[in-house]
Structures are given as C-alpha cells and as structure tokens.
A = this chain, B = another copy of it.
Amino acid sequence: MNTTLQALHREALWQEMPETEPVRQRLYRVLRQSIIQMQLTPGQALSEKEVADAFAVSRQPVREAFIRLSEAGLIEVRPQRGSYVVKISQRAVLEARFVREAVEIAVARQAAVRGLAPEVLTELHDLLERQRQCVAPHDYARFYQLDEAFHRALSFGVQQSAAWKVIEDVRVQMDRVRYLSVPDSTPIARLIEQHTEIVAAIEARDERCAEQAMRRHLREIFISLPDLVRRFPEMFDAQETAALIEEANQ
C-alpha cells in the first residue's frame, strides 16, 4: 500500500484535468511532475498494478504512461522485474545542458538576426515584469513557471516549436537538480537580470551579445552540482566525479 501514490491521486493536478483527456496522458503528466518535484524519489520502485490501484484505473493506461516515462529517461522498466524511478545521473544532467545550450543559443541568435514581432517583445517584457514581482515574496514556484514561459516565448517567437519540444524534453533531467537546490540556487534577481540582458541584446539585434547572454544564463545553473552530490548521495546514480563538470565548462 503506497501512501505517496494515494496522495498524488487526491492532489489537484490529477483531479483538475479534463475528463476528456486520455487517462494515459493525465497519468503521464502527474507522474512526470511528481518525479521532477521529487515526490517520487530516485530509486523508488513503481509497479503498474500499484499505480493502477491508487488511481482507480486499469493497468493498461498506466503501462502506456510508463512507456512514455521510460522514453523520457525518468523511469527504467525492467521486464519481469519492476519499474524504478531513475537516479539522477550527473552525466545525463550535463548532456541535457549541452543540448539545451546548443538549441537555446541558436534560438537567441535567430531572434537577434531576424528580430521578433512586436507582440512577442511585448509578451517578453510582460513576463520580465511578472518575474520581478516574484523577487520580494521569494515565490520560487511562480518564478519557475514564468521562467519556463519566458524561454517558451523565445522559441515560439522565432517559430521553432520543434526546438521547444527538445528543450522541454531535456529540461526534465535538469529540473530535478533544480528542485534539490532550491534554497541555495542562483538568486532569482540574478536570473531576471540575465533574462533582461537577453531581451536587450535581441532588441539591439546584436547576434553575438544575445548568444553570449544566453550561454551565461544557462551555465549559471549548475554551480552547485558537486555540492548536491555530496549532500544527497542517495539521489544520484553512481560514482561520477566532479571532473565531468570541469569538462563541461571547457
């Protein structure tokens, strides 16, 4: 009897979803979110039957959600044995950052070269303003939502939805780390400052500057990775050393 799963079932995220949406999608989103937010912890076992019972659905849609989760690299399905939330892999995190950096820099560059439509710029400025309102109340959760919206608006601003899909996919690997490091992560104010720089460079149509601003912004995030490995060793995969981080920063 898994009380965590029952709690998830009672939570708003599950309840508030439209009935029309397929069960497997709702399950996928709930489980994904729970893994990212560490409610389902790395290494934890998840069985199809257990989840099915907790959510009062049959095993089939659960199974289909599991398949999607395993493709996203969030759980590992071992046939005839069990399914497990994968531990955080430093290598996976850094590889995710590599991909994200490559794509987001290309997006920023394209935005600077081509320019953005006025309504997109308006939206970006609006998002910046709303982000600033999160600083004083230390509203991390709200800021993360707005942060996601900001990067999303950039990708859609240059009409690259496939790029956004990739960014979303690799983000999940990074987000678990982010949740671990909420207290001692880069201050919100600093991130907003970087967002502002990015928008300014795009408006100035300065390709190089936009590129560099985005690179700085994305590299900010994992200052604390080796520290986290020391503090939460059970969350991480293996004995991957901090040498990896040195590598990644060139």
- Enumerate chain B residues within 8 angstroms of A110, measured Cβ to Cβ: 98
Question: Are A95 and B170 also in contact (CB < 8 A) when A67-B67, A103-B102 are?
Answer: no
A103 to chain B, nearest CB (A): 5
List A residues 53-75 near B (Cβ within 8 Å).
60, 63-64, 67-68, 71
Is A2 an interface position by the 8 A CB rule? no
Binds B, one of A146-154, A155-163, A227-235: A155-163
Partner of A162, one of B105, B160, B170, B250: B170
Question: Number of A interface residues, CB 8 Å?
Answer: 34
Q: How far is the CB of A152 from chain B (nearest CB, A)?
A: 15
A180, CB-defined interface residue at 8 Å: no
Bound together, the chains give a CA A96 to CA B63 distance in angstroms of 30
Main SS at interface, chain A:
helix
A110 to B247, CA, bound (A): 10
CA distance A160 to B68 in the complex (A): 22
Instruction: Point out which of A67, A160, A162, A250 has the most chain B C-beta atoms below 10 A from its C-beta.
Output: A162
Nearest Cβ distance between residue A66 and chain B, in whole angstroms? Answer: 10
A183 contacts partner chain B, Cβ-Cβ < 8 Å? no
Judged by a CB distance under 8 angstroms, whether A189 is at the interface is no
Report the separation of the CA atoms of residues A22 and B63 in the bound assembly, to the nearest whole angstrom.
Answer: 14
Q: Which of B68, B79, B98 contacts A71 (CB 8 A)?
A: B68
State whether the Cβ of A92 lies closer than 8 Å to any Cβ in chain B: yes
Contact B22 A79 (CB under 8 A): yes
CA distance A105 to B103 in the complex (A): 10
Contact with B along A36-52 (1 / 0, CB 8 A): 00000000000000000
> A225 near B: Cβ within 8 Å?
no
Q: Give chain A's interface residues, CB within 8 Å of chain B.
A: 22, 24, 60, 63-64, 67-68, 71, 79, 92, 95-96, 98-99, 101-103, 105-107, 110, 113-114, 159-163, 166, 169-170, 173, 247, 250
8 contacting pairs across A/B (C-beta < 8 A): A63-B64, A71-B71, A95-B162, A96-B162, A98-B160, A98-B163, A102-B102, A102-B106
Instruction: List the 7 closest A-B pairs by CB distance, nearest first.
Output: A102-B106, A95-B162, A102-B102, A102-B103, A99-B163, A99-B162, A98-B160
